[in-house]
Amino acid sequence: MNITTFDGNGVGTYVSILSGLNPSTLYYVRAYATNVLGTAYGQELSFTSSNPPLSPPNVTTSGVSSITSNGAISGGNVVSDGGSAVLFRGVAFGTSSEPLISGNITQDGNGTGVFSSSLTNLLHSRLYYVRAYATNAVGTSYGGEFSFTTLSALPALSTMPVTQITSNSGRSGGLVFSDGGNTVTARGVAFGISQEPNLTGTYTVNGSGLGTFTSDLIGLLPNTQYFVRSYASNQVGTSYGNQLAFMTSLGVPSLITTGVSSITSESGLVNGHVTTDGGAGVFDRGFAYSVDSNPTLFDNHIGGLGQGIGHYSGTLLNLQFATLYNVRAYAINSVGIAYGNQISFSTLAVLPSLTTSSVSSITSTSAVSGGNIVSSGGAEVTARGIVYSLNPTPTLANDFTLDGSGLGSFISSISGLSSNSLYYVRSYGTNSIGTAYGNQLTFSTLPALPTLTTNSVGSITSSGAVCHGNISSDGGSSIIQRGFAYSLQANPSLTGSHTIDGQGLGSFSGTLTNLSPSTSYNIRAYATNSVGTNYGNNLTFNTQTSNGFSSCGPVNDVDGNAYQTVAIGSQCWLQSNLKVSKYRNGDPIPTGLGGSAWQGLVSGSFSIYDNNSINDGLFGKLYNHYSVTDSRGLCPIGWHVPADYEWSDLLNMLNGSFSGPVLKSTLTEPDPGGWYWPNTGATNSSGFTGLPGGRRDPNGSYFSILTGAYWWSSSNASTSTAWSRHIAAGGNAVNNLILDKAYGLSVRCIKD
């Protein structure tokens, strides 16, 4: 191998230092110089290198890797042997710093170069120090020091022997003597019928930490070999102790009560399942049942339902309705009797049990019966009463009463019956199951009063009328007299005026005579049988006036003031001015206001001419227009203040705007309420009977009594004025006036 140095350029003397020579070695050397033409060499010389002094090896330590709970990998590199062959090399390690070869070491060959060291049998969870070493004839040298900590380990434990073995249980446990450097978080035993049981199967949990623990093994099968191992878990994982085996003893069967179905009021189908025979054959199986908990064979039971394991069923009979029962499956082998879990069920309720009470207090349309609910059938009786019909075996589809709920006696009042009829009656009671009926009884209603109507009144004159009626039922007894009772009061009877119009059923008529003109009469048809007299509905009618005017019948206002009426063409009017002091709903209308107070009103009020009650009786009250249009209503129910067009319709049916004479009363003074003489042309041929009631002006003064009649319409002319009608004593015209709403005028009402 040639070694070349470089020592500058140019001409002159230079020195070269030769390094890296091997000791005791013959070397050859010559100088060289290079220009553009090439390289020239000087003469060759030779020399032998000398031997250097010996020293320990030069070594470095590799890092630590592949650390486990009990091992790791390290190593080193012997860079030089110090002039003497390396005899030993490896790593020194220990739990103290700067470990020496007098302690734990590895031996990993000799010579120079890189080497690897495996550290074994370390303690888990410990801090270790490590450094490489190399030894030659001169001595031992060490590389740099590294430290590392071993990992935690799995716990170490053993399994305790199995004791207290029965057919379905045993006791074992374990001893955790090392936690592997991490706290034991769970411990117990794993057990099963397969070898090497683990936590994927059945296991117990018995605390944590080091030490001895006890585990109860339950739910085992009888006469079966089991394997058991203790276990302990820490952060690293789960380790197991040694495996043991044991055999359970023979036992009673294992079984479950699976359910009850097909439940009725007195029976139920019970199902059971024998899951194991306890290692001895099952020779009988069945069910025990009682109203008490945990029934046994000393209670009611059914047996003989087969042998061996598997499903079986049986029907419980002769049970009490609506009763809670408890039932358990049972199975017997040579070891003994075993019971399944308890299931509770209730038998269904039944229909109520009841009787029908005798019928009493019988009339033509009613009777009294009832019943007695002897038993509810196990469900609440929510309704009870009687059913009745003209046909046998009545049900709730026929007529019935409703007389409360629950057990016990009850009374039923029957009404709306047909007279002189045979009825069938039964009590009933209803619960959630349905409706039950008591025994059937019969009774007959008594004859009844006749049934009849008052149909109409016609051919009305000022003194007579013709009445029509109809008898639809004689009540089971022949009609011996019929006719019409009439009176000025409502609901006339045979104690007053009446006609006699034959006998028997059907339509009939009667003629009333000697009636008063312009009078309102009440009339009722009547019919008499052996039971008594009955009446039809009440009708009213009005006889014509003596001069032939037709009445619309009398009217009363809310104060009780009575008014006669007159039909004029298609309209019906009061024959006198309104006198009411209240609105239709009973609210009083303010009155008694002086001149300035009257003038400033913008709400309803009335006055009496000159505050003289005689004028109130003759001419009625004077109302401002605000009372006329008040929403509470001024006229009697069914009547209203006429609109202006309704006044126009009245005049058009008479003599137009010159209808004053046919509207005015024919009375003249000094007759009370008469017009000022000569009351020009007055005929009152319309029957309107207009009266000269005068007016009250907005300033509060009164004007024009006996000489003028003023009536409001309900029609506004503006926000402060309204339309009215006026007739004067000395003229024929009916004037249409627009007046301030503060005027007080008379009011005539017209029928709706």
Domain boundaries, the chain: 1-52, 58-149, 156-247, 254-333, 353-444, 451-542, 557-751
136 half-sphere exposure, CB direction, 13 A CA radius: 19
Question: What kind of architecture, by CATH, is found in domain 58-149?
Answer: Sandwich (2.60)
Nearest CA to 136 out of 77, 53, 74, 80 is that of 80
The CATH classification number of 254-333 equals 2.60.40
Please state, in angstroms and rounded to a whole number, the distance separating the CA atoms of residues 591 and 748: 19
Contact in structure between 101 and 133 (CB atoms under 8 Å):
yes
Is the four-CA dihedral 543, 546, 547, 552 of positive or negative sign?
A: negative
Q: In the prediction, which pLDDT does 16 show?
A: 73
Nearest CA to 219 out of 206, 231, 194, 202 is that of 202
Contact in structure between 154 and 182 (CB atoms under 8 Å):
no
CATH tag for 156-247 (out of 2.60.40.10, 3.30.70.260, 3.20.20.370, 2.60.120.260): 2.60.40.10
Query: In this structure, what token pair is assigned to residue 426?
Result: 């039964």
Please state, in angstroms and rounded to a whole number, the distance separating the CA atoms of residues 520 and 538: 13
Please provide the average confidence, as pLDDT, over all residues in the chain.
92
* Side-by-side strand order, sheet with 571-574: 565-568, 571-574, 750-751, 639-640
Cβ neighbours around 157 below 10 Å, total? 26
Q: In the prediction, which pLDDT does 548 show?
A: 57
Contact in structure between 687 and 542 (CB atoms under 8 Å):
no
Please state, in angstroms and rounded to a whole number, the distance separating the CA atoms of residues 467 and 455: 8
Contact in structure between 464 and 512 (CB atoms under 8 Å):
yes
The CATH classification number of 353-444 equals 2.60.40.10
Tell me the chain's radius of gyration from C-alpha atoms.
Answer: 65
Please state, in angstroms and rounded to a whole number, the distance separating the CA atoms of residues 691 and 617: 12
57 preceded by cis ω (within 30°)?
no
Assign 32 to helix, strand or coil. Answer: strand
**Amino acid in position 644:** D
253 preceded by cis ω (within 30°)?
no
Please state, in angstroms and rounded to a whole number, the distance separating the CA atoms of residues 159 and 375: 68
Whether domain 1-52 has CATH 1.20.1300: no
Q: Answer yes or no: same fold for 1-52 and 254-333.
A: yes
What topology is assigned to 451-542 in CATH? Immunoglobulin-like (2.60.40)
Please state, in angstroms and rounded to a whole number, the distance separating the CA atoms of residues 375 and 238: 68
Q: In the prediction, which pLDDT does 592 show?
A: 79
Q: In the prediction, which pLDDT does 134 show?
A: 96
Contact in structure between 563 and 575 (CB atoms under 8 Å):
yes
Please state, in angstroms and rounded to a whole number, the distance separating the CA atoms of residues 156 and 232: 8
Please state, in angstroms and rounded to a whole number, the distance separating the CA atoms of residues 377 and 348: 9
616 half-sphere exposure, CB direction, 13 A CA radius: 13
- Residue bearing tokens 């019935």: 400
Please state, in angstroms and rounded to a whole number, the distance separating the CA atoms of residues 268 and 317: 7
Query: In this structure, what token pair is assigned to residue 347?
Result: 């038998």
The DSSP-derived string for 50-71 is: PPPPP-PPEEEEPPPBS--SS-
Contact in structure between 595 and 607 (CB atoms under 8 Å):
no
Please state, in angstroms and rounded to a whole number, the distance separating the CA atoms of residues 1 and 620: 159
How far separated are the first and last CA of the chain, in Å rounded? 147
Cβ neighbours around 559 below 10 Å, total? 11
- Give all strands (DSSP E) within 195-267, no chain letters: 202-203, 211-217, 225-233, 238-247, 254-261
Burial level of 376, CB count in 10 A (0-12/13-18/19+)? buried
* Side-by-side strand order, sheet with 435-444: 399-400, 383-389, 422-430, 435-444
How high is the mean pLDDT in each 10-residue block of the chain (752 residues)?
77 71 77 85 77 85 94 96 94 96 95 96 94 95 95 94 94 95 95 96 97 96 94 95 95 94 96 93 97 96 96 97 96 95 96 97 94 95 97 97 96 93 97 96 93 88 89 92 94 95 96 82 94 92 66 85 86 94 96 81 94 92 96 96 95 87 89 86 89 94 94 96 95 94 96 94
Please, which residues bridge with residue 444 across strands? Answer: 422
SS3 per residue for 615-654? HHHHHCCEECHHHHCCCCCCCCCCEECCCHHHHHHHHHHC
Backbone angles phi, psi at 653, to 5 degrees: -80, -10
pTM over 0.85: no
Q: In the prediction, which pLDDT does 52 show?
A: 63
Nearest CA to 114 out of 149, 79, 147, 65 is that of 79
Contact in structure between 425 and 443 (CB atoms under 8 Å):
yes
Q: What residues have CB less than 8 Å from 11, skipping those under 6 apart?
A: none
